[in-house]
Amino acid sequence: MSKSSHDFAHTHVQGLSEFVDDRPIMRGELFMDVVYSTHAHAKIKVDASEALKDPEVVAVYTAKDVHHNLWGTIFKDQPVLADGVVQFAGEPIALVVAKDTISAQYAKQKVKITYEDLPSILSINEAKKHQSFIADKRFIERGDVKAAFKKAKHKLSGEIVIQGADHFYLESQVTVAYPQEDGQIEIHTSSQHPTETQHVVAHSLGLDAKDVVVQVKRMGGGFGGKESQAAPFAAMAALAAKNLNRPVRLCLTKDDDMVMTGKRNPFQNLYNVAFDDDGVIDGLEVELYSDGGAYADLSTSIMERAMLHSDNAYFIPNMKVSGQVCKTHHHPHTAFRGFGGPKGVATAEIIIEKIAHHLGLDPLIIRKRNIYRDENNRNTTHYGQVFKNNCLPRLFDKIEKDCDYQKRRQDIEAFNKSNDQFVKGLSITPVKFGISFTTRFLNQANALVIVHLDGSLQIATGATEMGQGVNARISAMVTSELGLERDQARVMPTRTDKNANTSPTAASSGTDLNGAAALLATRKIKYRLSEFASLLLELPSDRWPSKTAGLGTEAEITLKNKNLDSNDPNEGADWLSGKADYFDIKFVGGEVLKGSKKIKFADLVREAYLSRIALSDYAHYSIPGIEFNKLSGEGNAFLYFTQGVACSEVELNRDTGELKVRQVDILMDLGRPVNKDLDIGQVSGAFIQGMGWVTMENLVYNDQGYLLSHAPSTYKIPNIQDTPRVFNIELLENEENYANVRGTKAVGEPPLLLAISTWTAINNALSYISKDYPNIKIPATNEEVLKAMYPSKFAQWSK
């Protein structure tokens, strides 16, 4: 295994990594399937009598069987099982438990649901018309927008339509619930948020948290789709397991998972922008509207992040952003990599494009004129946070040179003049992604580090592994602090009985939060071992505890100093190595050194144990300095910003609207990565995922809001042929992110937003063949592209 590999890559490739549904089937285990609504909004009656006649069926459960039926991360407004009324097509109604999976799947067809339809709202426009909203409209405002528009030389306005997207984690929602003695229950599930799953299970079943243990070993992908939405499925399996006192497995089919679970929130945003002859923006008004679906889920927080990212990378002196979540009868939309950010950023980028088109300038010029800069006080965001360690000017200068932008722009112009079958477009867009949960209390983590007597380590944190490599990064931080190889530590499955009250592994924060906590716990152990080593190494080795303690011939070595207590993972650490040393003791290459004296790490551990020194420790970490006032819309929302730029070159087929992404160059500032290889994997994965969202992933619903494209045969995520023909990823050198643990930067979400460059490149290509700047929606499917090319023909044939 190479040093930078994912910690379980070697078992992944052998098919030996255990996912939840790979767990052996236990004696007496039962299998569940979920009956869900096919109507948007209706009163329902449930008749399970036919299903119950099936000899393979053991039980059917409905809302009345749930102890507390309402759950929700922010507002407890969503039933685990619909009670008398359904609010979206796909809403769970009844649970069928059978002796095997296939029987459950057939039996659920026998549960009869009678619907009495109620009026439904299936779009943002309808919701606005009926004032159907979730929570109040929110505002962020800076400067005097009215005055800016009054004196503006140029004004533009418009609307941008952004569809949702399915997470398409390969492993569907899945849980096995095991009843245990004395009313306890153990849940094995695929969740980004074991703590919330534990709480929802306990609440739904009327149990204490102490009686519910949730374990997440790994997920087959999450991307936000298992942040809140894993919990109710765990509660469903747990409900049957508790009632029947038998293990119960619920593993959704891809089709059912896609129909039932919420997606990336669709947005429909309005904007007015005021700018001067140079394209410098003076005033901007943005009204964001999202489709929250039938229940609140995380939509209000997602909207908040969209509002905080409506500036993207641009300094806008006078700016007003409003955000309103609409309540519709769609599946409750939820977190998805980027969490609202992409919808704010796409809006900012289309505004830039339109300004450039209006002034007849290259959009790159407009971008560079508007980005945040330290000069002239253009470095404060619209919510009043000073933007420190701004790399944007460097990023723009470097990518423009590295990807040969100006030459390619000329080539494309020549190509587009001479070719009647294809048209090309080119675009660079930036991202400045705020890192931290915008909800302050979530910015905390805890970790347990155990050193065993042979010198090997186990680490337990609240972080969940979904392929992003959080385990590999945490173990690298911990072992390097102790001068050990990474494979000397194992990060254990996430369990709520080891790490409680944890935050979801979300907001790109997994390593920042949990890595910091694990490092703090490690330093406590290191501090004790250092003091111990400083005393031990002064003694001749024949007087060490291993030679004398059993005989009781020597006094025990005791530590004089109090335990280390710190909330800052960079405190006392050498900035370049990231390591902290205590008592002049160094941990290097599996050895512990005091000047010229040394002892093997494992031997030191053994001597420390015999001297009754604690070899395990626990630490809690909370991010300092997060003080964003949600009511006033002001404050330091983020610890720091991850930044990057990408250049996309696309080619469109003028006969069919088909897209080819010819080249993508990405340049990112990721601070000083713990694991560069894994970071680059995050960049390429996030970019392609974003590219799918802006180009081909098309959620199609029927008139009941029932998702028709609910499988990979109809919902197309990028495949290997869609990876750009040329795909370059480079990282900027940045040693100066002092805010975060070891100068690293979070990487999970930000590169997804760079895929907006592919969408603006499509717009750019279209602008060569149509007079008006295209107002193409996201996703820019073949059909949308062709429609932009032949508006009158489409009008003719759509009559």
Partner 1 sequence: MRNKIVFYLNGKRHSVGATEASMMLSDYLRYDQGLTGTKVVCAEGDCGACSVLRFFPHAKGVDWQNYIPVNSCITQVATLDGSSLLTVEALKDNDRLHEAQRAMVDCHGSQCGFCTPGFVVTLGGLVEEKISKNEKTITEQEAKNCLTGNLCRCTGYQGIIDAAVSVDLKIEKSLKSRYFDKDQEKDLVDTFNTPVEIKHDDFIFFAPKTIKEACTFLENNPDCRIIASSTDLGVVHNKRRLKLEKLLSLHLIPELYQIVGNDQVSLGARVTHTEFRHFIKDTMPEIAHYLDLFASPQIKNLATVVGNVATASPIGDTPPVFLALDAKLVLASSSGERVVNISDFFLDYRKTLRKPNEIIVRIEFDLPKKSTLKAIKNSNRKDLDISAVNMVMNIEMDSAKVVKEIRLAAGGIAAIPLRLKKTEDSLRGQKLDKKSIEAALSLVHSEFNPLSDLRASSAYRRIVVENSLSRFLHEEAAK
Sequence-separated (6 or more) residues with CB below 8 Å from residue 795: none
The residues in 26-85 that bind partner 1, with binding defined as CB under 8 A, are: none
**Non-local CB neighbours of 562 within 8 Å, separated by 6+ positions:** none
> Judged by CB, which is closer to partner 1: 255, or 554?
255
Q: How far apart are CA 385 and CA 639, in angstroms?
A: 10
704 with 40: CB under 8 angstroms?
Answer: yes
Binders in 398-457 for partner 1, by CB under 8 A? 421
Q: Does 343 bind partner 1 (CB under 8 A)?
A: no
Nearer to partner 1, 28 or 589 (CB): 28
In this chain, which of 678, 753, 766, 776 binds partner 1, going by CB under 8 A?
678
Residue 14 interacts with partner 1 (CB under 8 A): yes or no: yes
Place of tokens 């339109």: 354
- Of residues 83-142, which lie at the interface with partner 1 (CB under 8 A)? 102, 105-106, 109
* Nearest residue (CB) to partner 1, 188 versus 524: 188
Local structure of residue 25 (DSSP, 8 states): P
* Least distance to partner 1, CB of residue 742, Å: 21
In sequence order, the 6+-apart residues with CB closer than 8 A to the CB of 674 are 473, 476, 477, 511, 515, 742, 744
* 726 CB-near residues (< 8 Å, 6+ apart): 662, 663, 664, 665
- Residue 373 as a binder of partner 1 (CB under 8 A): the answer is no
| Cα–chain center distance at 725 | 27
**Joined tokens for residue 323:** 């955000």
Which positions from 446 through 475 interact with partner 1, judged by CB under 8 A?
A: 466-469
Main-chain phi, psi angles of 414, to 5 degrees? -65, -45
- Comparing CB distances to partner 1, the nearer of 31 and 383 is 31
Q: Read off the tokens for 383.
A: 């919510």
User: Contacts with partner 1 in 568-607 (CB under 8 A)?
Assistant: none
Indicate the residue among 442 and 729 with the shorter CB distance to partner 1. 729
Tell me how far apart the alpha carbons of residues 757 and 315 are, in angstroms, rounded to a whole number. 19
The piece of 436-444, 502-510, 524-532, 720-728 that touches partner 1 (CB under 8 A) is 720-728
Q: Which run of H or of E encompasses 53?
A: helix 49-53
Q: Which of 24, 55, 552, 595 binds partner 1 (CB under 8 A)?
A: 24
CB nearer to partner 1: give 109 or 577. Answer: 109
- Contact mark string toward partner 1, 247..286, x via CB under 8 A: ------xxx-------------------------------
Tell me: does residue 726 bind partner 1 (CB under 8 A): no
Query: 637 with 438: CB under 8 angstroms?
Result: yes
| DSSP alpha helix (H) spans, 13-100 | 49-53
Q: Which of 227, 651, 749, 784 is catalytic?
A: 749
Residue numbers 504-543 binding partner 1 by CB under 8 A: none
Q: Which of 293, 224, 225, 296 is nearest to 265 (CA)?
A: 293
Q: Using the minimum distance from each CB to partner 1, give the nearer residue, 283 or 681.
A: 681
485 is an active site residue: no
Minimum distance between the CB of residue 709 and partner 1, rounded to whole angstroms? 5
Residue with smaller CB distance to partner 1, 224 or 569: 224
CA 649 vs CA 426, 661, 681, 768, 778: distances in Å: 4, 6, 21, 14, 17
Secondary structure (3-state) at 726:
strand
> For the window 291-330, what string marks contact with partner 1 as x by the rule CB under 8 A?
----------------------------------------
From 34-42, 44-52, 344-352, 681-689, give the range in contact with partner 1 by CB under 8 A: 681-689
Whichever of 181 and 420 has its CB closer to partner 1, that residue is 420
Q: Find the binding residues for partner 1 in span 643-672 (CB under 8 A).
A: 654-658, 660
Note whether 792 binds partner 1 by CB under 8 A: no
E strand segments, 568-704? 586-588, 591-594, 597-600, 616-622, 627-629, 634-636, 640-653, 659-669
DSSP classification of residue 776? P
If one asks whether residue 10 binds partner 1 (CB under 8 A), the answer comes out as yes
Nearest to 171 by CA among 507, 463, 466, 510: 466
Q: Is 674 buried (19+), middle (13-18) or exposed (0-12) by CB count in 10 A?
A: buried
Of 522-530, 598-606, 638-646, 676-684: span binding partner 1 (CB under 8 A): 676-684
Residues comprising the chain, all counted: 799
Residue number with CB closer to partner 1 (467 or 545):
467
Least distance from C-beta 791 to partner 1, angstroms? 11
| Least distance from partner 1 to the Cβ atom of residue 255, Å | 7
Provide the mask over 150-169, with x wherever binding to partner 1 is found by CB under 8 A and - wherever it is not. Answer: -----------------xxx
Helices (H) and strands (E) in the chain, counts: 23, 31
- Least Cβ distance, residue 717 to partner 1 (angstroms): 6
State the minimum distance, in angstroms, from the CB of residue 510 to partner 1. 13
Residue ranges in 208-227 that form contacts with partner 1 under rule CB under 8 A: 218-223
CB 595, min distance to partner 1, A: 39
Smaller CB separation from partner 1, 18 or 287: 18
Interaction residues for partner 1, span 683-702 (CB under 8 A): 684-689, 696, 698, 700
> Is residue 717 within the footprint of partner 1 (CB under 8 A)?
yes
How many Cβ atoms are within 10 Å of 208's Cβ, its own excluded?
9
Distance of closest approach, residue 794 Cβ to partner 1, in angstroms? 5
Using the minimum distance from each CB to partner 1, give the nearer residue, 362 or 722. 722
**In the bound complex, what is the minimum distance in angstroms from residue 470's beta carbon to partner 1?**
11
- Of residues 739-778, which lie at the interface with partner 1 (CB under 8 A)? none
d(CA 349, CA 671): 25
Of 14-22, 434-442, 487-495, 641-649, the segment contacting partner 1 by CB under 8 A is 14-22
State the Cα–Cα distance between residues 750 and 669, nearest whole angstrom. 10
Q: What are phi and psi of 11, to 5 degrees?
A: -90, -30
Q: Give the type of residue at 158.
A: G
Tokens representing 337 are 């990599």
Span near partner 1 by CB under 8 A; candidates 19-27, 113-121, 147-155, 496-504: 19-27
The Cα–Cα gap between 125 and 154 comes to 28
Cα separation, 226 vs 207, whole angstroms: 23
**What is the size of the binding site for partner 1 (CB under 8 A)?**
91
> Taking Cα atoms as reference points, which of 79, 107, 109 lies closest to residue 93?
79
Task: Identify the CA nearest to 744 among candidates 644, 645, 675.
Answer: 675
Site for partner 1 in 167-186 (CB under 8 A): 167-172
Give residues with Cβ within 8 angstroms of 67, minimum separation 6.
203, 204, 205, 206
Q: Which residues are catalytic?
A: 749
